[in-house]
Amino acid sequence: MSRTDSPKPEEVLQGAAAAPGVAIGPAVCLRGHGVEVLRVPIQTSDLDREGERFRAAVGAVEAELEATENRIAETFGSDLASIFHAHSVILRDSSFARRIDQMIRSDRVNAEWAVQAVADDLGEKFAQVKSQHLRERGEDLRDVTRYLLRALAGKRSSPGIGKDFDRSVVVVSHELTPDEVLRLGRRGAVGFAIEVGGANSHTAIVSRALDVPLITGIADITNRVADDDPVIVDGEDGRLTLHPTPETLDQYRNLQRRRRQSEEALSSAARDLPARTVDGAEVELLANVELPEELDDVRRFGASGIGLYRSEFLVLDRSPELPSEEDHVAVVRQLLEALAPQPVVVRTLDLGGGKVARGLVPQDEENPVLGQRGIRFTLARADIFRTQLRALFRAAPLGNLRILAPMVTAVEEIRALRRLCDEVCAELEAEGAAYRRDVQLGAMVEVPAAVLIARQLAEEVDFLSIGTNDLIQYTLAVDRTNEHVADLYQPLHPAVLSMIQLVVEAGRRQQVPVALCGEVAASLECVPLLLGLGLRELSMSPRGIPRVKEVVRSLDICDAEELARRCVAASTAEEVEELLGAAGATVAHHRVPVRAG
Ligand code: PEP
Ligand code: MG
């Protein structure tokens, strides 16, 4: 990584820690949606050929869009297909293509540059118009631009990033969506540094799942870091070191080694120990997983099952095509068979909000996080929901399956889900298919409405699971992905603690188990408080389990209850934090910040 010409001075850029770990490597900057756009001068004699290249790319994208449109129309109907049709319309718009063609000739530039320049110009105009309809066309234009750039690069123009890496790189970008992180991580990216987003976003959650360090909130990073610049991502402290000196590199390599060793030591020491407090209270420590490849971690870090499988990642992974019933069965079977008789809680598709599978959920929502998300989406798209439910009941005989509904705000939603389950099971019965009906059904408690009707919900379900990531967002009216209000996203806010307390009490009265599966479950500072509030089931990223187990094993429930009483009576998050500190609860500093920002 060292350069022979005069070395550039080391520079440290500060952002927010979002996924722990250290990554060292050359940077790859994603601009133009993952396709590098360079201005290449074209000789006059080659201009015709460049124009041809552009038209060939248009032809390739057109053919692909048409095929996708037909496939989607056949399977899901014309509404969904119309998205791809809108893309085709832009592509066929002769003035768009003509402007690009003209620019190639007048400026003697490569097709990629002309495509990006024309699209940027039009994009600015679209952004300024008042009409929502036209603004959406701006989004379509961006997609078409991306398809064209990818076709020019000789790649299939599927949505998402398809860049392959031949070495371990750190990806630097303005932003990354959860599915982009997924794809890039699987293609060998070892670290991420982005300008926007918070530590509680799904982008961060996927990054942690892949064990790829991520820093968010580094202003203007795409202009400060160039391709191949040597960088170090410190996902523990949210620091990006640009052009590190040999000493800094050594320091970080040592840190990487120590981290691996201590993780291995801790996981093998803790794996077989019970998660039991000093005074004998048993606690279930389960794993949150997004991808089946995390199964190894689930076992390695000693989880007692899966407390949350975010099934929507299967959809994001395959978007714009939907997973088939067989795809769902295959993944759930893998989880169940690997862990039986331990429980596997499969959350039904939580699409919408931040997890937009383009073409599936409505694109015209002003406030998608308050829109058709979670159970609202699946009930509105019963065709998609049935496919998943059929798969779940078919896979159920293979292990200990539980089904969890996300974003529940009303009892009617649970009743509608139960009706669908009945219908699907009747169908399977009539077909003579192997299935199992007696699967436990649960509701996620992620919005204040669900907290306030926790008693009524508990009467309808077999278990509740508190999703604090969203509960904090909706209780405090703080967007969990917005770095500008990250300091207001306070897991220890007294309102949040009261919410948790209300749910635990409702569950206790109705004798319905209550789990907690938000990121706070892995916050070592919060664990004594959560146990003190009465929780006995915590689900978290598998890597967090050994340290949480260590805390659990050092606790006395009476002390934890006393601590919780005092915390609930506090007036501010800061007071709660002080109480936790004073109680000596901070065994070590887990990466999930108690107060983000
Ligand atoms: C939550 O909201 O706490 C949760 C576990 O779900 P997600 O993070 O996927 O929204
Ligand atoms: Mg949630």
For residue range 171-189, list pLDDT tens digits in order.
998 888 776 787 788 778 9
Question: Both tokens of residue 207?
Answer: 């990054």
Question: Both tokens of residue 309?
Answer: 């499988």
The H or E element that residue 344 is part of is: strand 343-347
What is the SS3 assignment for 114?
A: helix
Residue 200 CA: nearest ligand 1 atom is 8
Is residue 517 among the annotated active site residues? yes
pLDDT at 3: 42
Taking Cα atoms as reference points, which of 97, 93, 114 lies closest to residue 105? 114
CB half-sphere exposure, 184, CA atoms < 13 A = 33
Q: Ligand 2 mean position to 469 CA, how many Å?
A: 6
Task: Return the amino acid letter for 200.
Answer: N
Across 434-478, the runs of DSSP E, i.e. the strands, are 440-445, 463-466
Question: What residue owns the CA closest to ligand 1's atom 1?
Answer: 467
Q: Ligand 1 mean position to 240 CA, how many Å?
A: 28
Is residue 526 among the annotated active site residues? no
Question: What residue owns the CA closest to ligand 1's atom 4?
Answer: 467
- Residue ranges of alpha helices (H) inside 93-201 are 94-107, 111-128, 132-152, 178-186
Question: What residue owns the CA closest to ligand 1's atom 9?
Answer: 310
CB 199 within 8 A of CB 592: yes
Q: Ligand 2 mean position to 312 CA, how many Å?
A: 12
Question: Both tokens of residue 448?
Answer: 């204040």
Helix axes 78-92, 94-107, angle to 10 degrees: 40
Instruction: For residue 324, give Cα distances in angstroms to 388, 389, 537.
Output: 8, 11, 32
Identify the nearest ligand to the CA of 481 by its number.
1
Q: Ligand 2 mean position to 408 CA, how many Å?
A: 10
Question: What residue owns the CA closest to ligand 1's atom 8?
Answer: 469
**Which of 517, 523, 592 has most ligand 1 atoms within 8 Å of its beta carbon, as the pocket-test mutant?**
517
Instruction: For residue 49, give Cα distances in angstroms to 56, 63, 99, 184.
Output: 10, 21, 17, 33
- Give 554-560 contacts, CB < 8 A, sequence gap 24+: 554/278, 554/587, 555/277, 555/278, 555/527, 555/528, 555/531, 556/277, 556/278, 556/279, 557/277, 557/279, 557/281, 557/531, 557/532, 558/279, 559/528, 559/532, 559/583, 560/277, 560/528, 560/529, 560/531, 560/532
**Which of 470, 480, 503, 539 has most ligand 1 atoms within 8 Å of its beta carbon, as the pocket-test mutant?**
470
What is the SS3 assignment for 585?
A: coil
Question: Both tokens of residue 95?
Answer: 């003035």
453-504, pLDDT tens digit by residue? 999 999 999 999 999 999 999 999 999 888 788 889 999 999 999 999 999 9
Instruction: For residue 4, give Cα distances in angstroms to 7, 149, 241, 253.
Output: 7, 34, 19, 21
CB half-sphere exposure, 190, CA atoms < 13 A = 17
- In the structure, which protein residues have their CB atom closer than 6 angstroms to any atom of ligand 1? 205, 308, 310, 350, 446, 467-470, 517-518
The series of mean pLDDT values per 10 residues for the chain, 597 residues long, is 65 93 90 58 87 90 77 58 73 87 91 90 80 67 78 52 65 81 82 86 84 92 88 95 94 91 82 93 96 91 96 80 92 97 97 71 79 95 95 98 98 98 98 98 98 98 97 95 87 97 98 96 95 98 93 95 96 96 56 33
Taken in order 324, 326, 327, 328, the sign of the CA dihedral is positive
Across 202-342, the runs of DSSP E, i.e. the strands, are 214-216, 230-234, 239-242, 284-289, 306-310
Strand order in the sheet with 230-234: 11-14, 239-242, 230-234, 22-30, 169-173, 189-194, 214-216, 16-19
Residue 310 CA: nearest ligand 1 atom is 9
For all residues of the chain together, what is the average pLDDT?
87
Residue 517 CA: nearest ligand 1 atom is 5
Q: Which of 29, 33, 87, 202 is catalytic?
A: 202
Task: Return the amino acid letter for 247.
Answer: E
Q: Ligand 1 mean position to 470 CA, how many Å?
A: 6
Taking Cα atoms as reference points, which of 403, 565, 369 lies closest to residue 473? 369
pLDDT at 2: 43
pLDDT at 268: 82
